[in-house]
Chain A
Amino acid sequence: MSATVASGLKRARWCLATVYLVTIDKLGKVNVSEKLRGAEIFCRALADEGVDIVFGYPGGAVLHIYDEVFKQDKFKHVLVRHEQGATHAADGYARATGKPGVVLVTSGPGATNCVTGLATAYMDSIPLVVFTGQVSTALIGNDAFQEVDCVGITRPCVKHNFLVERVEDLAVTIKKAFYIASSGRPGPVVVDIPKDVTANVTEYHYPESVEVRSYKPNTKGHPGQIKKALQLISNAVKPMIYTGGGVILDNASEQLTDFTRILGFPITNTLMGLGAYPGTDPQFIGMLGMHGTYEANMAMHHCDLLIAIGARFDDRVTGDLAQFCPEAKIIHIDIDPSSISKNVPVDVPIVGGVSHVLSEMNRLLREDDVKPVVRADNNWWQQIIEWQGLECLKYDTDSPLIKPQAVVESLYAVTHGDAFITSDVGQHQMWAAQYYKFDQPRRWINSGGLGTMGFGLPAAMGVQIAHPESTVACITGEASVVMCIQELSTCLQYGLPIKMISLNNRYMGMVRQWQEFFYNSRYSHSYMDALPDFVKLAESFGHVGMRIENPSDVDEALKEAFAMKDRLVFMDFVTDQSENVYPMIAAGKGQHEMHLASDVRELA
């Protein structure tokens, strides 16, 4: 006992800035706890949580915190150039690693600039913990300088948020924030910290775990439901596996791959689910949905059993709900009960973590010695192979103009299909999803649910920081990329050798495509007039810029760029302005009513 006291006091002597509180409890146990300022507690809590990277931008309300950040070396702080960039970078980091991304910004505009990033992460269920400064508690509600109701503004686009009113609550609130963000169906959590809370002093104790009585996510699937699902599976004639981002979020790729191979069924991934099952595997029949492959959408429409796993029947996937999977019984595995039967009624719901449920199903399938369907003598597979024969992703390879699809295919070849690919939003995003085959999860990083232009570059920063030795490319367009272009400065500061693949068609391509099809080619404000010289722009930020105008130069240029291992290279590909994304399911149409490149003119 006395030895503990002595060592505690010795530590106290050596650390003059810290006040130690020595107490002896009823059992005679000596507790030495430190009294720290809120700002110190913040840094210690992050370190104790195992945070290694914080993306942030300082300002008045977080200056106490930034002073402590300066003094510590447990986590690295990455200074972005706009708070939106911080949230997207943390988001990219989270998607690439599975760990929650962490953001630190100031009050007022610092907080409001985070809203787009929060909504992006919320729609795709990405774990983020965003710390926002707040004016001192005495000033809250007084329209103080740089005050906004951060909890109010962010409420509808976060999984949960907190206002920390007392320094005594700070450490436990941080613990709760990480727990809520990363468990169950993940999502962003905001912790709003008033400035006086960061100055006040209290004992520091970081709990190892935390209980939230009103939050108990269920990870284990109901055994009875699992049995019912296996019954349907054994009776299916035309089965189809449809999986989404939930498989990736729950690190269940291995279990999904096992499940699919045990059964030998065809599988499609959503935009968010690409890479959960190897994209080059013959059982994978491409992405589904609005710009999915012909074979995937036709198989959806004609299947008699749909096994939906970690997917949420988004409108971009289902098309017209009245015509969705008309012949199918549906099994739905999801951790979020509110996803089940939200858009499409389900026959066998299984609420639980995808990895747990699939492991259990795999165990039972193996117990029953289930053999995979053999493609060669299976009518359903023969039908799918016939649909594949249509080659719906074919495009004109003899064009004198650079075809955007060809750039993605070259990129795939040059990077050996092994890069982390982020994207912005629009046509280039769809081409990336269609033509880059992802064999691993967490390699394809894009804003699926919210569709946030400007996501790609900062997300790539987060990915590159998480994986410094890996190849990271951002497929973007000249409209999207300028939305967060300021982050090129951050890339220089931290030496991030991202490769920017800009498919420059001088239009907001997806807007232009819809205007061509549905608005009689009235291109209302979708033309990008007065574009910058992207080569000079990249150079002015201290990077390498390249402009590529001929199809024959594409491969060489990519090789040259990727050979520059320590430089960010901005590649401005001048592409065919008139190219559209096919196949396409027009809004309000069924999945079987696709338009292909060959029959486009029928659309208008």
Chain B
Amino acid sequence: MSARHTISILLENEAGALSRVAGLFSARAYNNESLSVAPTEDPTVSRLTLVTSGSPEIIEQITKQLNKLIDVIRLVDLNEGRAIERELMLIKLRAAGGEQREEIKRLIDIFDGCVVDVTDSTYTVEVIGDGDKLDAFIEAVSTKRILEVVRSGVLGILRGTKSLRA
């Protein structure tokens, strides 16, 4: 019954608008897996993407309650159409010794990642993809090597000509 949904929201770019969304999720005990927000080409509008999960009834309530927030201009549940999702991860890995460094390099290539910073003993790697791909990368490098993980949270956009605009 419970399914994962990505909801993309156009939000007034005003102080406190983000906390209205975050507050709604905690006040109504909705699940929130990730949330990312940044301004758009229009400086008065922010775009927020959040990943939640729940039964169809709960998801319906979530979209209705979000729409009720005065600062929410428009939203779309990306699961209702075809959509592209991407997440960016920066991950710092222990990489000492030639063989180890080579092995990590090969993995990075497989995942279409790139090394964005290097020291004698570490690689800092950038990987872009959907959540599953990033999870798979973390699994592949093994947790022993991981020094630090930073993920952007999911970003999403509808495929085709349809757009979410203010």
Contact = CB atoms under 8 A, between A and B. Distances in A.
Interface string A392-432: 00000000000000000000000000000000000000000
A190 B74 CA distance: 23
Q: Give chain B's interface secondary structure class.
A: helix
A215 B61 contact: no
A341 B60 CA distance: 9
A160 B166 CA distance: 20
Contact of A151 (B16, B64, B166): B16
B19 A155 contact: yes
B152 to A, nearest CB: 25
Contacts, number: 38
Contacts of B16: 151-152, 155, 163
B65 A338 contact: yes
Nearest to B20: A155
Interface in B57-77: 57, 60-61, 64-65, 67-68, 70-74
B60 A215 contact: no
Given A151-B16, A215-B70, A337-B67, A156 B27 contact: yes
Interface string B41-70: 000000000000000010011001101101
A212 B70 contact: yes
A526 to B, nearest CB: 30
A366 interface: no
Nearest to A155: B23
Interface string A146-163: 000001100110011001
A215 B71 CA distance: 8
Nearest to A217: B68
A342 B61 contact: yes
A213 interface: yes
B126 interface: no
A324 B36 CA distance: 40
Contacts of B72: 214
A156 B70 contact: no
A180 interface: yes
A159 B71 CA distance: 11
A338 B23 contact: no
Nearest to A337: B64
B147 to A, nearest CB: 34
B68 A180 contact: no
Given A152-B19, A213-B166, A159 B65 contact: no
B70 A338 contact: no
Interface in B2-27: 12, 15-16, 19-20, 23, 27
A159 B74 CA distance: 18
Contacts of B65: 338
A214 B60 contact: no
B73 A341 contact: no
Interface in A184-226: 212-215
A337 B66 CA distance: 11
A165 B68 CA distance: 24
B43 to A, nearest CB: 15
The bracket for how many chain A residues form the interface is 10 to 19
A40 interface: no
Given A151-B16, A155-B16, A156-B27, A214 B70 contact: yes
A469 to B, nearest CB: 38
A341 B27 contact: no
B38 to A, nearest CB: 18
B70 A159 contact: yes
Nearest to B73: A214
A336 interface: yes
B12, B20, B70, B166 interface centre (most CB from chain A within 10 Å): B70
Interface in A377-397: none
B12 A214 contact: yes
B72 to A, nearest CB: 6
A155 B27 CA distance: 11
Interface in A124-175: 151-152, 155-156, 159-160, 163, 165
Contacts of A342: 61
Interface in A201-254: 212-215
Contact of B61 (A151, A213, A338): A338
B73 A213 contact: yes
Contact of A180 (B12, B23, B57, B70): B70
A215 B12 CA distance: 11
A213 B15 CA distance: 17
A160 B20 CA distance: 9
Contacts of B12: 214
A336 B61 CA distance: 12
A226 B117 CA distance: 63
Contacts of A156: 23, 27
Nearest to B26: A156
A341 B74 CA distance: 21
Nearest to A184: B68
Nearest to A212: B70
A165 B15 CA distance: 10
Nearest to A342: B61
Nearest to B60: A341
Contacts of A337: 64, 67-68
Given A159-B70, A214-B73, A338 B64 contact: yes
Interface of B: 12, 15-16, 19-20, 23, 27, 57, 60-61, 64-65, 67-68, 70-74, 166
10 contacts: A151-B16, A152-B16, A160-B70, A213-B73, A214-B70, A214-B74, A215-B70, A336-B68, A338-B64, A345-B57
Q: Which 9 A-B pairs have the closest CB atoms?
A: A338-B64, A214-B73, A160-B70, A156-B27, A215-B70, A337-B64, A338-B65, A338-B68, A155-B23
Given A214-B70, A342-B61, 9 more contacts: A152-B19, A155-B19, A155-B20, A155-B23, A163-B16, A180-B70, A336-B68, A338-B64, A345-B57
